[in-house]
Amino acid sequence: SAVISQKPSRDICQRGTSLTIQCQVDSQVTMMFWYRQQPGQSLTLIATANQGSEATYESGFVIDKFPISRPNLTFSTLTVSNMSPEDSSIYLCSVAGGAYGGYTFGSGTRLTVV
Amino acid sequence: DAKTTQPPSMDCAEGRAANLPCNHSTISGNEYVYWYRQIHSQGPQYIIHGLKNNETNEMASLIITEDRKSSTLILPHATLRDTAVYYCIVRANAGGTSYGKLTFGQGTILTVHP
């Protein structure tokens, strides 16, 4: 299975600022996914990022708020823009693949907006 | 992807088998059953998946009913480290190039006690 390095692991940010989260994979992958996990809740998919094309956003998520870059097959970034306390969540990246069709997740970025 | 129903919480004594049920009565013929778990503050971890036959790996066993409308994840000898949220997910395409998103429900909080 792929190994994912996600940075930063946690951050405390001021409202109105932006934070960029990085996801580095140790192998080339076609599809990468970004999830949000609000406190006490399950994971919600934000968007799917394919290399060389625009990310596909789920209902309720927009590119202006969560711009995503996917410059190559091993790297992606998610930016949380103009943050408010409601954006306080864990953000996780994931890649598809592996020997048995499973998905691998990064360790997450715990974001607190004050 | 088909919707799943899981009990919100379960308890298990250390060393005993933990049996986690999942209902997926609207599952389609080409949809697989996946199980993931999320230990506190970590990214979800793949456990096992199956289509119609029972499956076993080093972590767990997956029992799928003949009509495929429900399944049970079995941790044969639960340890304290198995305390986590367990997610049952059904989706098509367990491999190849047709990966897609995973849709997480609320999962089952499994607490293993001494």
- How far B33 CA sits from the closest chain A CA (Å)? 11
Cβ pair A102:B49 closer than 8 A: yes
| Closest residue of chain B to A40, computed from CA coordinates | B106
Separation of alpha carbons B99 and A97, rounded Å: 8
Cβ pair B34:A44 closer than 8 A: no
Q: Measure the CA angle with vertex B37, ends B31 and B40; round to 5°.
A: 150
What is the tens place of the pLDDT at every residue in A40-88? 999 999 999 988 788 999 999 999 999 999 999 999 999 999 999 999 9
Residue B37 touches partner A, C-beta closer than 8 Å: no
Position with higher pLDDT, B97 vs A88: A88
Cβ pair B87:A42 closer than 8 A: yes
For tokens 């029972």, name the residue. B54
What is the tens place of the pLDDT at every residue in A13-37? 999 999 999 999 999 988 899 999 9
Cβ pair B102:A103 closer than 8 A: yes
Separation of alpha carbons A27 and A54, rounded Å: 21
- In angstroms, the first-to-last Cα distance of chain B is 37
